[in-house]
Structure 1
Amino acid sequence: MPLVWSNWETRSPETGETSPYVDWYRTVTFDGADEKDGLSISPLPQAQSVCGSPAPAPLPNFARPPAGETPASDPEIQLTWMPDPDAAIVGVIDSAIALSNARFRRIDGGTRFLSAWLQAGNWRADAAVPFGRELFRTEIDRLMWRHKIGDHVDECAFDRAAGATQFNHTRGDRRLEQLGTHGTHVADLAAGFDLTRADMDEARRRLPLIAVGLPPRSCIGASGNFLEFYAIHAIDYILDRADRIWAACDHGIGHFPVVINLSYGLQAGPKDGQMLIEKVIAEANRRAEAEDRVIRVVLPAGNDLLSEGTARFEVSDTTSTSITWRLAPEDHTPNYAEVWSDALPGPSDPTEAHPLIVSLATPNGPMGPPAPGRAGHMATLTDTSAPNRPLARIYCTTLDDAPLDGSANATRHRMAYVLCTRPTLNPSRTQIAPAGGWTLNISASENGQPKRGFAHVQSDQSLTHGSETGLTSTFNHPDFDAHDETGRLIDTHTYPYDGSLPTLTDTTPPITRRGTLNAIAHTDTARVIGSYRATDGKPSLFSSAAYTGAVDPGRDALSALLPGEDGASRFGLIASGSKSGSTIAMEGTSFSTALATRRIALALLTWIDGGRTGPAPGDETWFRSTAQTEDAAAGFPGQTATEKAGSGRMNAPDTGRIAR
Structure 2
Amino acid sequence: MLTWGDWMDHSLGNGTPYVDWFDILHENRRGNKPEFVKQIVPRTPDTFQSLDKGVEALDGVGPAGEDTGTGAPEPYVIRSPKFMTNTKFADWWNTRPDPTGWLPSAATFDYPTVEDDTVVVGIIDVGLSLGHRRFRLADGRTRVLGCWLQGAPVDGLGEIPERAPYLPFGGHLFEGQINTTLAQFSVGQDLQAPLKQEGFNRATCLTHYPLADADRDLAGRVSHGTHVMGLAGGADPDCIQGREFGQKTRFLLVSLPPALAFGEGGTFLDFYLIYALRWLVEVNARIAEKSGLDKPRPMVINASFGKHAGSKDGAQPFVNAMLNHARSGRLAATGVDEVTRRVPLHAVLPAGNSNLDRATAKLTLTPTDGPRAEIDWVIQPDDDTSNFLEVWCESTTENALGQCDLAIELVPPGQSPAGESAGAAGQIQELFRTTSEESVQHLARIYCQRIDPPNGDADQGDTRRRFRYLLCLGPDRHRSDVWANPPSGRWKVRLKNLSPDKALTVSLMVQTDQPVRSGSSATRVSYLDDPTYEKFTKDGRNRDTYEYGFHGLSGSGAVARDLDTAEFVKRHGTLNSYAANSSVATIAGYRASDGRPAEYSSTGKGVEEGPDGRSAPTAAFPTDDGYAHLGVLSDGASDGSMVAMQGTSFASAMATRTIVNAWLARQHDPYGKVPINQFLASTAQRQAAPKGWFKSPVDVEKVGTGRIVFESRRRTSC
TM-score by length of 2: 0.85
SS at match of 1:153: coil
Q: Distance in 1 between matches of 2:400 and 2:617?
A: 35
The residue identity in structure 1 corresponding to 2:655 is A
Match of 1:61 among 82, 97, 113: 82
SS at match of 1:403: helix
Say if 1:483 and 1:489, in contact at 8 Å, map to a contact too.
yes
Task: Name the stretch that deviates more: 414-423 or 425-434.
Answer: 425-434
Say if 2:360 and 2:510, in contact at 8 Å, map to a contact too.
yes
1:95 equivalent in structure 2: 126
Q: Please list, as runs of the form range in 1=range in 2, the aligned pairs for 1:234-633 lying within 5 A after superposition.
A: 234-251=276-293, 253-290=294-331, 293-318=343-368, 319=370, 320-344=372-396, 352-365=402-415, 367=417, 370-385=420-435, 389-403=441-455, 411-426=463-478, 431-464=484-517, 467=520, 469-496=522-549, 497=551, 498-500=553-555, 501=558, 502-547=560-605, 550-553=608-611, 554-607=613-666, 612=669, 615=672, 619-632=676-689
- Following superposition, the deviation at residue 183 of structure 1 comes to 0.8
Q: Distance in 2 between matches of 1:349 and 1:84?
A: 61
1:202 equivalent in structure 2: 244
1:6 aligns with 2:5: yes
SS at match of 1:23: helix
CA displacement, residues 613-633 of structure 1 (integer Å, 9 cap, x when unaligned): 994665222122100111446
Match of 2:92 among 70, 73, 89: 70
Say if 1:222 and 1:462, in contact at 8 Å, map to a contact too.
yes
SS at match of 2:207: coil
Say if 2:435 and 2:441, in contact at 8 Å, map to a contact too.
no
SS at match of 2:442: coil
Say if 2:591 and 2:626, in contact at 8 Å, map to a contact too.
yes
- Following superposition, the deviation at residue 49 of structure 1 comes to 3.2
Q: Distance in 2 between matches of 1:105 and 1:208?
A: 9
1:179 aligns with 2:200: no
- Following superposition, the deviation at residue 551 of structure 1 comes to 3.0
Task: Name the stretch that deviates more: 460-469 or 358-367.
Answer: 460-469
Say if 1:312 and 1:453, in contact at 8 Å, map to a contact too.
yes
Q: Distance in 2 between matches of 1:595 and 1:368?
A: 52
Say if 1:100 and 1:155, in contact at 8 Å, map to a contact too.
yes
2:38 equivalent in structure 1: 42
- Following superposition, the deviation at residue 101 of structure 1 comes to 1.5
- Following superposition, the deviation at residue 170 of structure 1 comes to 2.9
CA displacement, residues 598-643 of structure 1 (integer Å, 9 cap, x when unaligned): 10111112228x9x59946652221221001114466632321111
Task: Name the stretch that deviates more: 199-208 or 381-390.
Answer: 381-390
CA displacement, residues 467-504 of structure 1 (integer Å, 9 cap, x when unaligned): 36111100012211212334322111011233433211
- Following superposition, the deviation at residue 42 of structure 1 comes to 1.8
Q: Distance in 2 between matches of 1:409 and 1:651?
A: 37
Say if 1:355 and 1:444, in contact at 8 Å, map to a contact too.
yes
The residue identity in structure 1 corresponding to 2:80 is L
SS at match of 1:180: coil
The 1:571–1:524 alpha-carbon spacing in structure 2 relative to 1, beyond 3 Å, is same
Q: Distance in 2 between matches of 1:283 and 1:60?
A: 28
The 1:370–1:233 alpha-carbon spacing in structure 2 relative to 1, beyond 3 Å, is same
Say if 1:79 and 1:114, in contact at 8 Å, map to a contact too.
no
Q: Distance in 2 between matches of 1:613 and 1:530?
A: 23
2:206 equivalent in structure 1: 164
Say if 2:633 and 2:713, in contact at 8 Å, map to a contact too.
no
Match of 2:187 among 149, 154, 173: 149
The residue identity in structure 1 corresponding to 2:624 is E
SS at match of 1:289: coil
SS at match of 1:90: strand
- Following superposition, the deviation at residue 343 of structure 1 comes to 2.6
1:105 aligns with 2:102: no
CA displacement, residues 439-461 of structure 1 (integer Å, 9 cap, x when unaligned): 00111122112111100011112
Q: Distance in 2 between matches of 1:421 and 1:614?
A: 47
- Structure 1 stretches lacking a partner, 5+ long: none
The 1:169–1:75 alpha-carbon spacing in structure 2 relative to 1, beyond 3 Å, is farther
CA displacement, residues 122-149 of structure 1 (integer Å, 9 cap, x when unaligned): 3355443222111111111111111112
Say if 1:315 and 1:450, in contact at 8 Å, map to a contact too.
yes
CA displacement, residues 172-224 of structure 1 (integer Å, 9 cap, x when unaligned): 21121111111111111111111222112222111101100111110112311
SS at match of 1:285: helix
1:644 aligns with 2:705: no
Say if 1:358 and 1:372, in contact at 8 Å, map to a contact too.
yes
1:218 equivalent in structure 2: 260
- Following superposition, the deviation at residue 379 of structure 1 comes to 0.3
Task: Name the stretch that deviates more: 568-577 or 407-416.
Answer: 407-416
- Following superposition, the deviation at residue 367 of structure 1 comes to 3.8
TM-score by length of 1: 0.92
Say if 2:314 and 2:454, in contact at 8 Å, map to a contact too.
no
The 1:183–1:659 alpha-carbon spacing in structure 2 relative to 1, beyond 3 Å, is closer
1:19 aligns with 2:16: yes
Q: Distance in 2 between matches of 1:130 and 1:405?
A: 30
Say if 1:607 and 1:613, in contact at 8 Å, map to a contact too.
no
CA displacement, residues 82-139 of structure 1 (integer Å, 9 cap, x when unaligned): 2111112111000111111212111211111111001111335544322211111111
The residue identity in structure 2 corresponding to 1:103 is R
2:172 equivalent in structure 1: 134
Say if 1:359 and 1:441, in contact at 8 Å, map to a contact too.
yes
SS at match of 2:330: helix
SS at match of 1:201: helix
CA displacement, residues 336-381 of structure 1 (integer Å, 9 cap, x when unaligned): 0001011347xx8997322211111111235467321111100000
Q: Distance in 2 between matches of 1:65 and 1:129?
A: 7
Q: Distance in 1 between matches of 2:620 and 2:76?
A: 36
The residue identity in structure 2 corresponding to 1:274 is A
SS at match of 1:648: coil
The 1:80–1:415 alpha-carbon spacing in structure 2 relative to 1, beyond 3 Å, is closer
- Following superposition, the deviation at residue 268 of structure 1 comes to 0.5
What RMSD over aligned residues (CA atoms) do the two structures have, in Å?
2.8
SS at match of 2:714: coil
Say if 2:530 and 2:567, in contact at 8 Å, map to a contact too.
no
Say if 2:112 and 2:174, in contact at 8 Å, map to a contact too.
no
Q: Distance in 2 between matches of 1:416 and 1:80?
A: 45
Aligned length: 651
Say if 2:364 and 2:503, in contact at 8 Å, map to a contact too.
yes
- Following superposition, the deviation at residue 427 of structure 1 comes to 5.2
SS at match of 1:624: helix
CA displacement, residues 531-561 of structure 1 (integer Å, 9 cap, x when unaligned): 0000000000110001165333321111000
The 1:109–1:389 alpha-carbon spacing in structure 2 relative to 1, beyond 3 Å, is farther
Q: Distance in 1 between matches of 2:198 and 2:456?
A: 42
SS at match of 2:232: helix
1:115 equivalent in structure 2: 146
- Structure 2 stretches lacking a partner, 5+ long: 51-72, 97-101, 155-161, 332-340
Q: Distance in 1 between matches of 2:215 and 2:420?
A: 45
1:227 aligns with 2:269: yes
